[in-house]
Amino acid sequence: MAQVRPMRADARRNRERLLEVAAAAFTEHGEGASLDDIAKRAGVGTGTLYRHFPTRQALLEAAYLDRIEAIAARADVIAAERAPGEALPAWLNELAAGMIEVRGMKALLGTAVTAGGAAVDTARGDCLRGAAERLVRAAREAGALRRDVEPIEVLRLVHGVATAAGATHEEGGDVGRSVRRYLSLVWDGLRG
């Protein structure tokens, strides 16, 4: 069995920069975002891009998962900075905004994230569920959240908020304001 060598620090930085730039490019320009432009904006050559991501689809999937994982990781950062009753709604606000941002990338992925157990969809669900479980458990234990509220319910409610706020955007409204308002209403119903 061949051992996998750890990625060199410079290669890891290049990969991270490519993912960051790709997420912005795909969000702004859609699936047809120029890969040459992405490499250039990331400060690497196209050969480096293709070494990390051999296809456009591979780059799109990796950028999508990277954004989801970053949103999930924020749960632990926020939990370390705030009390449980403040951490959960703060993260839900970031989650809703993040869902709106990555929704366009998800649409571009098409069948890679549709129902049926695709690896991308499974990885996305696992990291968000884990983050929600930690924050929901802490908020329940602190008495800041109803004891009967389940993490999956919270995720589904935030998905609804993101969908509603996305409609606000299409109508020319303030998405951030809508997210805060809708989450405030949801949080009032969830509190212990």
pLDDT digits (tens, 9 = 90+) for 40-85: 999 999 999 999 999 998 998 898 889 889 999 999 999 999 999 9
Cα–Cα distance for residue pair 11/17, rounded to 1 Å: 10
| Burial of 88 per CB tally in 10 Å (0-12, 13-18, 19+) | buried
The pLDDT, as a whole number, for residue 111 is 44
The pLDDT, as a whole number, for residue 124 is 65
- Dump the DSSP string for 54-70: SSHHHHHHHHHHHHHHH
The pLDDT, as a whole number, for residue 178 is 86
Whether 33 has a pLDDT exceeding 80, the answer reads yes
What is the mean predicted confidence (pLDDT) over 175-185?
Answer: 88
CA-closest candidate to residue 88, choices 191, 163, 181: 191
The pLDDT, as a whole number, for residue 118 is 52
Domains and CATH numbers, the chain: 1-54 (1.10.10.60), 57-190 (1.10.357.10)
pLDDT digits (tens, 9 = 90+) for 138-163: 999 999 999 999 999 999 999 888 88
Cα–Cα distance for residue pair 110/107, rounded to 1 Å: 5
Cα–Cα distance for residue pair 67/80, rounded to 1 Å: 21
Let me know: does 154 contact 146? Beta carbons within 8 Å: no
The pLDDT, as a whole number, for residue 144 is 95
Confidence class of residue 15 from pLDDT cuts 50, 70 and 90? very high
pLDDT digits (tens, 9 = 90+) for 86-101: 999 999 999 998 888 7
Share of the chain above pLDDT 90, in %: 51
Cα–Cα distance for residue pair 78/81, rounded to 1 Å: 5
Q: Which of 30-34, 86-90, 103-107, 146-150 has the lowest mean pLDDT?
A: 103-107
The pLDDT, as a whole number, for residue 116 is 39
Q: Is 37 helix (H, G, I), strand (E, B) or coil?
A: helix
The pLDDT, as a whole number, for residue 117 is 40
Confidence class of residue 31 from pLDDT cuts 50, 70 and 90? confident
The pair phi, psi for residue 2, each rounded to 5°, is -75, 140
